[in-house]
Structure 1
Amino acid sequence: MTDPDDPANLAVRRAAQDFARSLARHEMLSQAVRLEATLYPTGEGSLFGVDRALAEAWPRDAGAPPAQEVILVRAGGRLQGVKLSAFDSRGRALLRRHYMADAAGAVERAEPPRKAVGHE
């Protein structure tokens, strides 16, 4: 069982919330059929917490969250970053966001917000 107050889990939760809000703002929630989370590097806590964070961040009025895939780049150490991506039914990226985390669980986008190529 993971500690929801662990800084890595807080960071993942905050990143997932921002990502879901971005999808909603760009009216892409209904198009998203798969979510992908790539963690750089992380301990076990945030690896298991990312599925829960994405499901909890998904707006209730948008229906059930899409299928999720978690990619662990390198195990061990504290969470340094997470990349979240949403894909449509044809496998095209709808939106990608990179987030960096600090030791306290705060996150910030690592790059300016943008839609994926082909969806501008």
Structure 2
Amino acid sequence: MVAVLVCAEQPVPLELLHRFKSVVLEDSSSITLPKELADCWAGSGGGSGGGEAAVKLHVRWNLTRGQISGPCLTDGRVSDQCSPFHEASLPTGSLYIADLGYFDIEAAMRASAIRELHPHASTNEHGLLH
């Protein structure tokens, strides 16, 4: 089932979505596994889906076409910033939505939208855009 790809023939008929080339949501979920699987699926060693063994499922959903990519499986300790989709580029004019765990200031500064919003954007001591 994880290899199935769903994609609509026509774009979703919602006016808001049509303002963007694509609208992509990305997220992941971690599942704690029995510690005997730690050699196969390394966890983070902590709680909340960490444990000695865990698997993380990464998913991307393109709302403009209903296309779902994934889930891609990684060790539970893999950071969201290292998502298997990290290198997949989106078309110019796309809206990308993900939680703070995916935020990469260097990638954001390379994005033309950030430069257009504020050509002299920089980060503070906490790595937050200002």
Name the TM-score, length of structure 1 as normaliser. 0.28
Structure whose residues are more often helix by fraction: 1
Name the TM-score, length of structure 2 as normaliser. 0.26
Q: Highest CA radius of gyration, 1 or 2?
A: 2
